[in-house]
């Protein structure tokens, strides 16, 4: 029961994050938010932040995927695209940030606190 | 054998064992005495062993750094205790410092309550005044607005400023803002222009102390331990006779002398970080609890010949 609750809370949290992002970045409200819960079969859609690096440093995902970054370090990091299209707050240990990629392309991003940390997301076109 | 870094003018100019002892206390600061335009540095833990004559300069001040209030991970679950221990050390000095420099990372996450706690702790200092520069941990999420409101009133731009004290010109720089992907610390055009103007009218005989959070020299760029445009900044100081550059950020002591410029980084009051390249990342280094306040070691110390300067090139190691 506890585990189920945790999962539900996690999903709710992700949905909330997705909502916040969509509304702030695209100003569209949260209509796409349930995507994460409904599509467990999507390819790897998470990036770990560990030892001052993004892992994997390059990830290819289909358009529409919501990518979630989790900070595993004892030091805060951020996830900021070079063109500022997405920008997280400072993520403390175990905090997460999600962004839904609605357009194909290559998105270079970095940690604005430790700018040596660079990585990219390649979003492939419509299925 | 004396227990502090000694400029003894012998072959290598440095008392190596004394230096190792200097490295032996984690939650500490560095103590500076300005004598005849030369800034001498001593580890805080050894200052009380110095004679009054050795301590008496034209000016004495203390630098602490990287307090990371709010950090609570295994590398040091109680950063307030070590900060307070550093403050007690400063208060017990025979020669009270004229002021304190804090070279940034006051807090861990730029939270209001972390800044509150830090300010509360620093109230115990007997020292007249504290000068600050921000670390990258102090400007999270708000581009440093809260930091400036609290610690940098009346400063320029992102919080840079200069002041005179006892015939020395002090310059506090901000190199933790607007960092570029793939880059290092950053001063930026506006600050560089200001710096050029600021030092224009400083007499060449006036000693300069330049302080900023991230090292203004290339300590280890692979870990971001350097500042992209620091060479430009230092070029404005070339005609000046004595320049001392004080930084934090790397949580360990290093010193280097280049001509008339002495570079020095301070220890953290919170937790140690690994020597450059000795760990997968520069993250907090966990050492045995009983080693936390006495953990640091050193690999190499050199002196640039012909100058009254110490060059501390290598880094402390986990003990």
Q: Which residues contact A91 (CB under 8 A, 6 or more apart)?
A: A49, A69, A71, A76, A77, A78, A79, A97
pLDDT greater than 70 at residue A36 = no
Cβ–Cβ of A115/B180 closer than 8 Å?
A: yes
Burial letters B217-227, b for 16+ CB under 10 A, else e: bebbeebbbbb
Q: With bands split at pLDDT 50, 70 and 90, how would you rate the model's confidence at A44?
A: low
CB–CB of B137/B144 below 8 Å? no
Pairing of strands B208-211, B99-102: unpaired
Interface test with B, best of A74, A84, A121 (most B CBs within 10 A): A74
Over chain A, what HEC string results?
Answer: CHHHHHHHHHHHHHHHHHHHHHHHHHCCCCCCCCHHHHCCCCCCCEEEEECCEEECCEEEEECCCEEEEEECCCCCECCEECCCCCECCCECCCCEEEEECCCCEEEEEECCCCCCCEEEEEEECCC
**What burial class does residue A30 get, using C-beta atoms within 10 Å of its C-beta: 0-12 exposed, 13-18 middle, 19+ buried?**
middle
Q: How far apart are CA A19 and CA A99, in angstroms?
A: 10
Which pLDDT score, from 0 to 100, does residue B31 have? Answer: 64
Percent of all residues in chain B with a pLDDT value above 90, rounded to a whole number: 52
Distance to chain B for A48, nearest Cα, Å: 15
Instruction: Provide mean pLDDT across the span B210-222.
Output: 96
Interface test with B, best of A115, A118, A119 (most B CBs within 10 A): A115
Q: How far apart are CA B30 and CA B22, in angstroms?
A: 10
pLDDT, greater one: B64 or B311: B64
Element (H, E) at B89: helix B79-91
Least confident of A54-58, B199-203, B239-243, B287-291: B287-291
> Could you tell me the pTM of the whole model?
0.78
Percent of all residues in chain B with a pLDDT value above 70, rounded to a whole number: 73
pLDDT, greater one: B91 or B148: B148
Q: How far apart are CA B87 and CA B121, in angstroms?
A: 8
CB–CB of B4/B49 below 8 Å? yes
What does the DSSP assignment read for B35-82? ETTEEEEEEHHHHTTS-HHHH--SEEEEEE----BT--STT-S-HHHH
Cβ–Cβ of B110/A90 closer than 8 Å?
A: yes
Residue A105 is encoded by which pair of tokens? 């392309």
Nearest to B23 by CA among B3, B9, B40, B6: B3
Instruction: Provide mean pLDDT across the span A60-80.
Output: 96
**What burial class does residue A3 get, using C-beta atoms within 10 Å of its C-beta: 0-12 exposed, 13-18 middle, 19+ buried?**
exposed
Least confident of A64-78, B4-18, B303-317: B303-317
Instruction: Please tell me which residue of chain A has the smallest CA distance to B110.
Output: A90
Pairing of strands B161-165, A96-100: unpaired
User: What is the ipTM metric for this complex?
Assistant: 0.78
pLDDT greater than 90 at residue B221 = yes
């Amino acid at each position: 029961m506890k585990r189920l609750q945790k999962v539900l809370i996690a999903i709710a949290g992700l949905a909330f994050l997705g909502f916040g992002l969509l509304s702030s970045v695209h100003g569209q409200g949260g209509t796409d938010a349930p995507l994460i819960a409904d599509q467990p079969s999507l390819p790897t859609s998470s990036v770990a932040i560990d030892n001052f690096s993004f892992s994997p440093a390059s990830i290819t995902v289909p358009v529409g995927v919501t990518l979630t970054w989790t900070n595993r370090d004892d030091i805060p990091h951020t996830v900021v695209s070079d063109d500022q299209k997405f920008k997280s707050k400072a993520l403390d240990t175990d905090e997460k940030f999600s962004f839904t990629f609605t357009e194909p392309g290559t998105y270079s991003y970095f940690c604005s606190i430790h700018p040596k940390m660079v990585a990219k997301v390649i979003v492939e076109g419509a299925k | 054998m004396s227990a502090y870094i000694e400029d003894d003018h012998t072959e290598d100019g440095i008392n190596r064992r004394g230096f190792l002892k200097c490295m032996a206390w984690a939650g500490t600061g560095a103590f500076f005495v300005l004598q005849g335009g030369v800034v001498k540095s001593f580890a805080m833990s050894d200052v009380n062993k110095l004679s009054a004559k050795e301590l008496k300069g034209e000016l004495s001040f203390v630098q602490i750094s990287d307090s990371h209030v709010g950090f609570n991970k295994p590398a040091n679950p109680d950063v307030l205790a070590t900060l307070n221990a550093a403050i007690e050390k400063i208060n017990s000095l025979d020669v009270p410092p004229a002021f304190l420099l804090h070279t940034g990372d006051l807090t861990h996450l730029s939270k209001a309550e972390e800044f509150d706690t830090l300010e509360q702790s620093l109230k115990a200092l007997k020292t007249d005044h504290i000068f600050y520069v921000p670390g990258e941990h102090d400007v999270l999420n708000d581009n440093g607005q809260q930091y400036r409101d609290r610690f940098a009133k009346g400063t320029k731009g992102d919080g840079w400023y200069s002041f005179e004290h006892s015939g020395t010109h002090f310059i506090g720089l901000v190199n933790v803002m607007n960092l570029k992907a793939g880059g290092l610390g950053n001063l930026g055009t506006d600050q560089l222009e200001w710096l050029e103007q600021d030092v224009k009218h400083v007499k060449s005989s006036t000693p300069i102390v330049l302080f900023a959070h991230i090292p203004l020299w290339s300590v280890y760029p692979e870990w971001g331990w350097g500042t992209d445009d620091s060479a430009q900044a230092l070029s404005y100081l070339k005609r000046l006779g004595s320049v001392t550059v004080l930084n934090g950020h790397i949580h360990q002591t290093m010193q280097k002398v280049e001509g008339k410029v002495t570079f020095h980084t301070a220890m953290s009051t919170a937790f140690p970080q690994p020597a450059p390249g000795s760990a997968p990342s520069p993250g907090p280094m966990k050492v045995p609890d009983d080693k936390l306040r006495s953990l640091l070691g050193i690999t190499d110390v050199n002196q640039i010949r012909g100058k009254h300067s110490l060059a501390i090139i290598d880094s402390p190691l986990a003990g």
